[in-house]
Chain A
């Protein structure tokens, strides 16, 4: 039978496949293996040295886009220009920080026939680590105690229930374990300089790190859920190796999260299992994780299903996945011509 797969043009951000990698390259690899469509991939990059820009077997063309801090209009203008050149069908934003403008732009982009599969602004906001305590109470999920700090002087009056060590977290990124007040102050300054205020101080839960990635259809159905145990963790706390597992409680927790919140889109739950075997929900990342290619390895191509949801198609929940599949990340040096770096740096396109 002849292959008559439709061809979709999909723009993907998060091409920074670095030591703390964005999910873009993994998402693209999954899309290239989609069974229900072929793809032309448009990379969306913020910096001219994001490795995905130069991966020409994965990314057909890349455009630089303005940081979210440039404002929604600037982002829209750039997307409008890219769309005029490429006729985008779908955009998959892969950074927490860019979800805000893209959620706001969802309606306008849909009118231009550009589709996305994103959580609502309410879902995006309520799962924010700043609101994790309330989120845990509302949905009956166990979360570590945390407090939001808006100024350095507040750390001196931390509630007495906090015992060292504590975890100091940035609003969007960065987290560090602190064992005394001096370390908290140092981290406060370091994180606020990079990511701004507020910061979050969280109870440190001793245990093993687990993650779940999944996909919700926005109606309370779990399209996909894949639990993973981190096997190799970098200094930045990123999984450099992991394995799919079958823990039923993690799956139940995920179904509960999706059915109660009616989550729409990809996500990652960060969990810690303490010595008593209790799972604590540390964070909900509102987008697919950098290890999303494992979903293809276990038989549930989440990026493909997400694109089909974005296009308004009826997507049936995956029935099963392979347990005991591992991912092992690696670093790889590409040789890049100076001209390419020059073009993306000066023209903003490659």
Chain B
């Protein structure tokens, strides 16, 4: 799973899809996940990174993480799958 290479993400969490003209904003955790995906990190790696950084239970994080990835997929921001 990888973010589309042409998706632009600013430091402030503004996302622009140049193919569709759609734009979105995400909070800092969302921005962190997206940047990790852009760098080609696997979901397990990202999961570990976030759980190390924030005090969150595995089950809670996995559910929110899946929801977030589902949103990215729904908005065609992810390259495959």
Which residues on A are within 8 Å of B, measured CB to CB?
208, 210, 228-229, 231, 242-248, 277, 323-324
Contacts and interface: CB of A to CB of B under 8 A. Distances in A.
Contacts of A324: 8, 16, 18
Contacts of B21: 210, 228-229, 231, 242-245
A229 B20 contact: yes
Given A228-B21, A231-B21, A244-B21, 16 more contacts: A208-B20, A210-B21, A229-B20, A229-B21, A242-B21, A243-B21, A245-B18, A245-B19, A245-B20, A246-B6, A246-B18, A247-B19, A247-B20, A248-B19, A323-B18, A324-B16
A229 B8 CA distance: 17
Contacts of B6: 246
B14 to A, nearest CB: 11
A129 to B, nearest CB: 25
Nearest to B16: A324
Nearest to A244: B21
Interface centre among B8, B19, B22 (most CB of A within 10 A): B19
Contacts of B19: 245-248
Interface in B1-37: 6, 8, 16, 18-22
Nearest to A229: B21
B19 to A, nearest CB: 5
Interface residues of B, number: 9
Contacts, number: 25
Nearest to B23: A243
A247 to B, nearest CB: 5
Nearest to B8: A324
Nearest to B6: A246
B5 to A, nearest CB: 12
A243 B16 CA distance: 11
Contacts of B22: 229
A246 B17 CA distance: 9
B23 to A, nearest CB: 8
B64 to A, nearest CB: 26
17 contacts: A210-B21, A228-B21, A229-B22, A231-B21, A242-B21, A244-B21, A245-B18, A245-B20, A245-B21, A246-B6, A246-B19, A247-B19, A248-B19, A277-B76, A324-B8, A324-B16, A324-B18
Nearest to A246: B18
Interface in B40-60: none
A247 B20 CA distance: 6
A254 B8 CA distance: 25
A323 B17 CA distance: 10
Nearest to B19: A247
Contacts of A243: 21
Contacts of B76: 277
B78 to A, nearest CB: 15
A345 to B, nearest CB: 42
A248 to B, nearest CB: 8
**Interchain residue pairs A-B with the least CB separation, the first 6:** A229-B21, A245-B21, A246-B18, A323-B18, A243-B21, A247-B19
Contacts of B18: 245-246, 323-324
